[in-house]
A and B are shown apart, each in its own frame.
Chain A
Amino acid sequence: MSYQVLARKWRPRSFQELTGQEHVSRTIENAIKAKRIAHAYLFSGVRGVGKTTVARILAKSLNCTEGPTPAPCMKCQSCRDIANGFSVDVVEIDGASHTGVDNVRELQENAQYAPLRGRYKIYIIDEVHMLSTSAFNALLKILEEPPPHIVFVFATTEPHKIPNTIHSRCQHFQFRRISYQEIMERLRYILHEEGIEANENVLSLVSRASDGSMRDALSLLDQVIAYTGGDLSEGDVSWILGLADHLIWPFMQQIINKDSAKALSLLKDIVDGGYDLKQFCSNVVEHIRNLTLAKLGMGQEVIDLPAERIEEMIRVAEGIPLEDLQRLFGIFSKALEEIRWFPYPRFSFEMAMIKATNMRPVVPVDELLDRLMHIEKRLSAIPQGERELPSPQIEKTGGGKGEGEKGEGEKGFTKEKATTGKADKEDGSDMAKLWRHVVEKVNESKSSLGSYLEGSVPVGYEGGILSIGFKSGSAVFVNLIERQESKGFILSVVKSCMPGIAGIKFVTSPAKEGHSPAYNEYLAASHERKQHEVEEVFADSIVQDAIDILGGELVELRSRKGE
């Protein structure tokens, strides 16, 4: 007998053999038992998940001489005819090539006649969404008043293209993608039955490449078996499938080790090996995603990999801070976007890689705040006029406001700075620092806009309006920035970094050394307020008690750190 492809050879013949569609098989089995057969079923789902298969099993169940039964005998004339595609009472129509109203009219006429052998006449219309509007209207008439011996089964990959009038007269079953685990299990079973050896990693590659479709999985398996002659190795399989999976681990290892040179040479191997760079980059992103989820304690329910691979992931992820993983995800997903448009995808990928290997470790906000406090303390000794270095106060980042989570006991110490009306946090150098922060943020989201802002400095603050000065030669930038959407965007960033500022103004006069009188006044007021705040906290009874009990000394006032 000629060779039959795996997908056909192992097509399920009964509801019990069906994989991954328990909600469908159980409901239909019960319907057959209870003799509550609907006139029309609509099966939807991606390709290769069992729509036509279920339709055929249903046809067998209904017309089996021992039935209607959820477990057709497979031996009687009717069951055999249906399995071989000879049954006169089961009509399979390809909706994609019979789209016209005439086809449906013909069906309408034939449908009036009783079935020849079985109990039911079953029409299976595949790709039903391809029917024309008038064909659908004709179909609707049969659906509204179906002869009692008729059962329709419509199968489609695009249920939203079916008119609502048809849809609402069908029992709709949405077929699920078959999960990675279920495909693995089925492949294991089939290979065992076929007497072919394969390790888990090979099966994993095939299952992942099939993207939830059993038919795809089996076709790929066929392809792989044909190529290797039954001796399935991981390298061969990933080569046939065009996946550079076996290179991802070594590549990631270099990224984690921050070894640009080795990573670059690996990349050369990948490019020379003829692998698709976009695909590889996408796999890297997926790998980082898996590491992140593994680090967060998630396992096989969300990561489509064999158990031992996940354990390996968890071990590797232990050594990488979560923030770094998320940054890596950002870097490579951005690279993936760029590769699409950039004429030299290899270059963008290399740049992303270099960025990833040179990524500086994230300094925790607490530590940063400590360092800044230290600088500020040193600076406070110097009279205000002589200061050269900025003494920034870091804007609270992350965790939004976080008032809700504040412990009761801490309340006396942590004074949220009021942000009513005026920006009362900044003094001159703070302002410069904050403005730099704004420029960085703008740079992150709109790098072209950010570049215009390079070299600009805050020069004044009056009535809630912040003036930003540009060098006299930068007039052309100012014109560009003044455009509505650019200015609006910058303002939104300013507002998020410097609460209390209501507007911004761009000036092209050379940045002056001094500030406007109003700004100096504002600085003085702000300083005074800060002083007042310190006194207030020092006078607090809880603070006093703490000093008494712990025998301490009050050195300085800090605002509470973010989450």
Chain B
Amino acid sequence: MAINYLEFQERFSGLKPSPVYLFTGEERFFMDEGIRIVRERFLEEGARDFNYDICFASDIEASRVVEMAETLPVMAKYRVVIVKGMDEWSSKEKEIIAAYLNRPSPTTCLILTATKLDRREKFSVTLDKRGTVILCQPLYRQNLTGWIKQRVRRVGKSIDNDALHLLTEIAGDDMLSIDNDIEKLTLYCGDRKNVSLEDVSRVSSSMRSASVFEVANAIVDRRLKDAISSLKRAIHDGEPPVRIFYFIVREFRMMLKAKTLMDAGESPEAAAKAAGIPPFKVKEFSQRVQKFSREELHKLFERLIAVDGRLKGGVLRPEMVLEDLILSVCLRR
């Protein structure tokens, strides 16, 4: 049978043991977690070294895996054999596994992973009949926030809404990275029960620094001092100036997009939404948009192009180029 990961997670403890579990899909976080859940159920820690094999399909032939699977467990009820990346096998090798599945060892739990699987293959058909296929698809962005909250709760903490938003902005939608960030955040907080915006901006520097967003926000609000000092912070955090600049441009692009839509008769809310603003930021954003005329934004883009050139090809230190931009936007020159 084939089953979605979240469903599998919920129902697994009640399901009958299956001789083989195949995790397929792109979300590696679910795969790792799924393997852990299955392993914990079948593998007895005391006899782990005797009854546990893990290998990669690229390093091993299928017949060898079958041998491992047919070995009897030692001082335990089950053996666990894991083969990762089985899409690397040829269909001939997969046939060997399929043959095993027709008469599987009742004392072995075979766990397979594959990023992609052709469901029409003979092997897949056998697998569907004999084992459990778990589909590990990434979560949609809107479900991600709920998932983060749940992960944070698991270690007995809670997370503020704005912190949550920033975290998703910073970490993107790679769940493994987000999970690492959550771990870091909750460790950083120590005994404190609540994860705040400040914590995220200090710790979650996985790929982007939070100060980058502060620069972009401050410049569109024309808060000169804040923009200059957060720029300094971002540079200190090791942010490449070009990336800081990208986020400034992104902010103005969203504004121009919303402004254009509003001029065409859209409501501020609808325009903000279309520009990609999350619901709880819409109000703040539409107030911001009011402060710039469309003409002003257009002119600004000409300046941004010039700044881009100076950043990439100039001799002036990049942070000074950006400071100059900040001064000109904030002082309206």
Contact = CB atoms under 8 A, between A and B. Distances in A.
Contact of A298 (B176, B225, B296, B317): B225
Interface string B317-333: 10010011001000111
Contacts of A174: 205-206, 209, 237-238
A486 interface: no
Interface footprint category on A: 35 or more
Contact of B238 (A26, A45, A329, A400): A45
A301 B205 CA distance: 21
A447 interface: no
Interface string B224-244: 110011001001111000000
Contacts of B209: 174
B236 A285 contact: no
Given A298-B225, A496-B299, A401 B316 contact: no
A293 B224 CA distance: 10
Given A177-B236, A293-B228, A298-B225, A172 B180 contact: yes
B290 interface: yes
Interface string B159-190: 00000000000000010110010011001101
B28 A168 contact: yes
B203 interface: yes
Interface in A316-351: 322, 326, 329, 333, 336-337, 339-340
Contact of B296 (A175, A179, A400): A400
A23 B203 contact: yes
A498 B203 CA distance: 51
Contact of A171 (B184, B225, B299, B332): B184
Nearest to A334: B316
Contacts of B229: 298, 301-302
B296 A401 contact: yes
B183 A175 contact: no
A200 interface: no
B332 A292 contact: no
B313 to A, nearest CB: 9
A164 to B, nearest CB: 7
Interface in A248-266: none
A302 B238 CA distance: 16
Interface stretch (A31-39, A124-132, A545-553): A31-39
Contact of B54 (A145, A159, A179, A337): A145
A278 B332 contact: no
Nearest to A32: B187
B149 interface: no
B295 interface: yes
A401 B235 CA distance: 34
Given A282-B317, A398-B332, A179 B236 contact: yes
A398 B329 CA distance: 11
Contact of A333 (B180, B296, B320, B332): B320
A312 to B, nearest CB: 20
Interface string B277-317: 00000000000001111011001000000000000001111
B183 A36 contact: yes
Quick one: which of B82, B180, B235 has the most chain A CB within 10 A? B180
A296 B56 CA distance: 62
Contacts of A22: 202
Contacts of B187: 27-28, 30-31, 34, 36
B312 to A, nearest CB: 13
Contact of B180 (A28, A168, A212): A168
A282 B319 CA distance: 13
B295 A400 contact: yes
B225 A177 contact: no
A296 B323 CA distance: 13
Interface string B193-228: 000000000110111010000000000000011001
Given A278-B315, A398-B333, A176 B293 contact: no
Contacts of B151: none
Interface in B86-134: none
B299 A177 contact: no
B293 A168 contact: no
A99 B209 CA distance: 29
A168 B295 contact: no
A144 interface: yes
Interface in A150-172: 159, 164-165, 167-172
Contacts of A195: none
A387 interface: no
A173 interface: yes
Question: Which 5 residue pairs are nearest across A and B when measured between Cβ atoms?
Answer: A174-B205, A168-B176, A400-B296, A30-B187, A27-B188
Given A36-B187, A45-B238, 5 more contacts: A38-B183, A172-B180, A174-B237, A285-B320, A302-B228
Interface of A: 22-23, 26-28, 30-31, 34, 36, 38, 44-46, 141, 144-145, 159, 164-165, 167-177, 179, 212, 278, 282, 285-286, 289, 292-293, 296-298, 301-302, 322, 326, 329, 333, 336-337, 339-340, 398-401, 403-404, 496, 563
Interface of B: 28, 32, 54, 56, 82, 84, 174, 176-177, 180, 183-184, 187-188, 190, 202-203, 205-207, 209, 224-225, 228-229, 232, 235-238, 290-293, 295-296, 299, 314-317, 320, 323-324, 327, 331-333
